[in-house]
Structure formats: C-alpha cells, structure tokens
Amino acid sequence: MGFFGYYAVLGPNGILAYRDYSRKLAQRQAYYACLDKARSELRNRVALLDPRHADPDMVDELVRKQLNVAHPDEFIMPLGTGTGNADRCAGTVDG
C-alpha cells in the first residue's frame, strides 16, 4: 500500500506532477495563441498579394524592400530586428 501511495503522490503521473502538467499546458496554449496570431497576419499579407487583385501599397512595400530603393525625399526607419513570426513566439515555450 505504501508503494502505491508513494507513486500516487510523488510518481511521474502523481498528484504533484499534475501542477507541472498544468503549467506546461498553459505555456503551450500561449505558444499556440502566438503562432495562431502570426499565422493570421501572414494569411492577411498573402491575401493582399493575390495576383487577381493585389494591394498597391503592399506591392510597393515589397518592391522597395527587395530592390532597396527609396525616393530622395523619404526617410527609412527600421521598426524591428527583422525576426520571423515563429521566432517571436519561440520565447513563450521551454522546449
């Protein structure tokens, strides 16, 4: 009885391990929410680049980015480090 009681409380699937499972579940749900948000942002950008009706502002942004050109009266200010959407979510889960 002591053996089964010990593993029911302190074993790998015991009562004390439940807290760790709950913490990991919360982390994974936060990670999934972050990835879901990144996926919806990418889906929006893809929709704006649809060949049948491309958004002129998005096309202009991508052309300028790829060709590295700007008008003489424009000032370019970088907004981020350029990391991808998945990299932004990588800190929300511990392996």
Residue at 64 is within a domain: no
Q: Tally the C-alpha atoms within 13 A of residue 16's C-alpha that lie toward its C-beta.
A: 8
- 62-94 confidence digits (pLDDT tens): 888 888 888 788 777 777 665 565 567 876 666
pLDDT tier, 16 (very low <50, low <70, confident <90, very high otherwise): confident
Q: Does some domain include residue 90? A: no
Structural domains in the chain (count): 1
Residue 28 to residue 4: CA distance in whole angstroms: 31
Residues 6+ apart with CB under 8 A from 7: 13, 14
92 contact partners, CB below 8 Å, separation of at least 6: 27, 30, 31, 34
Say whether pLDDT at 61 is over 90: no
The residue range of the domain holding 39 is: 1-51
Give the tokens for residue 92. Answer: 């929300």
DSSP state of 6: H
